[in-house]
Amino acid sequence: MKEEFYISLVGEAFDGYTEALFNDSYIYIKHISIRDQRYLHKYYEKYKELALSRGLELEKDRISYVLEEEIWDAESDLKIASLEKEVENLKISVKHLNLRSQREQLEKTIFERSQELYKLKSDRSEVIGQTAEDYATSRSSDEILRFLIFKNKELTEHLYSEEEFGELETWEILKLTQLQNDITERISDDNLQKAVLRPFFSMYLSLCEDCGSFYRKPITELTIYQLRVTLFGRMFHNIFQYTEDIPDDYRQDPEKLIAYSSSKNQSSSSTGIRDDASGSVLFGATKEDVEDVGGVQGVSLAEEAKKHGGQLDMTQMMRLAGHDV
């Protein structure tokens, strides 16, 4: 993407709002802050109580009912719980992998398990019908959308009152929702990380240590995007300070930069890399993995085994790892 995109992105985060055209007029969509998040819970609880008063049941009660009536089987329900736990653990594990090929493989597994989980949950939702939580999620999403849209860039006057918002056409609400979704997609973590690594932001990196001073605002008034800008700035500033010999073409690539830094800081016992040995290797590393960790030798165990009659003894393995035996 062009430099102007990233400059605009950071400027948008600094402003704390996004200007958008809606019904031939400019509106201002506020970026949510930590303080604002309490309204999400407030609105959610408000509509959940309303749903319960109108006869809708909680999800756990509906699940218990369909299981008792054998409309939904217990095995599928256990599978959902198992997949939820597995996906959660896999997401934790992928953060600790240094080799790109390993991360990509695990991310593929996460995607496959997540798809399976989504299908099972969708099937269960069709069986149990609308719950109080479903109603609360839908209505509170609309409510928070109204809460974030303003007439002016000072964010002092809402575009709609509750009554006016309730009278909007369905297409208008869908269009406003799409504007909000576009903001979320554009100001993503990936784009923000790339933005703070661009040359124009380099002079700000060392100033990201103190969020409050950076924006001259209390932390509680900062938006989520403002916090992320300084978080990523501080993270990459530390990498540049404490990681040696970073290849020039990695300095503006968040994924490569993080992987390279991790590989440099991991101990030889956990990475299989010995920095002081010319024979250091990464077993099973792809060409891309080798590039990510700064040119450490990659060795295919299968290829090496072929050279020794189909198998490797302990001495041969140690020599491959750069040990003198």
Encode the chain (325 residues) as per-residue pLDDT tens digits: 689 999 999 999 999 999 999 999 999 999 999 888 887 788 899 999 999 999 999 999 999 999 999 999 999 999 999 999 999 999 888 877 767 788 889 999 999 999 999 999 999 999 999 999 999 998 888 888 999 999 999 999 999 998 999 899 989 999 999 999 999 999 999 999 999 999 999 999 999 988 888 999 888 889 999 999 999 999 999 999 999 889 999 999 998 898 888 877 764 344 444 445 444 555 555 666 666 555 555 555 556 555 655 555 556 555 655 555 5
Beta strand residue intervals within the chain, DSSP E: 17-22, 25-30, 149-150, 281-283, 297-299
Tell me the angle at which helices 224-242 and 3-15 cross, rounded to the nearest 10 degrees. Answer: 120
- Tokens (6 digits) for 237: 């500033």
The string of DSSP letters for 119-175 reads HHHHHHHHHH---HHHHHHHHHHHHHHHHHEESSTT--SBS--HHHHHTS-HHHHHH
Would you say 260 and 282 are in contact if contact means Cβ atoms under 8 Å apart?
A: no
Distance CA 46, CA 50 (A): 6
- Start-to-end C-alpha separation, the chain: 51
Q: How far is it, in rounded angstroms, from Cα 22 to Cα 146?
A: 14
Per-residue pLDDT tens over the stretch 202-247:
999 999 988 888 999 888 889 999 999 999 999 999 999 999 889 9
Closest by CA to 292, choosing from 317, 318, 266, is 266
How far apart are alpha carbons 22 and 28 in whole angstroms? 10
What tokens appear for 139 in the block? 């209505």
From the list 268, 261, 259, 219, the residue with the least C-alpha distance to 237 is 261
**Which value, in Å, is the radius of gyration of the alpha carbons in the chain?**
26
Give the residue among 302, 197, 294 at the shortest CA–CA distance from 251.
197
The DSSP secondary-structure symbol of 222 reads S
Contacts of 266 (CB under 8 A, 6+ apart): 98, 273
- Give CA–CA dist 160/190, Å, rounded: 33
Q: pTM for the full model?
A: 0.71
What residue ranges do the domains of the chain occupy? 20-186, 189-250, 269-320
φ, ψ at 283 (rounded to 5°): -70, 130
pLDDT in tens, 47-61: 999 999 999 999 999
Asked if residue 100 lies in contact with residue 106, where contact means CB atoms within 8 angstroms, the answer is no
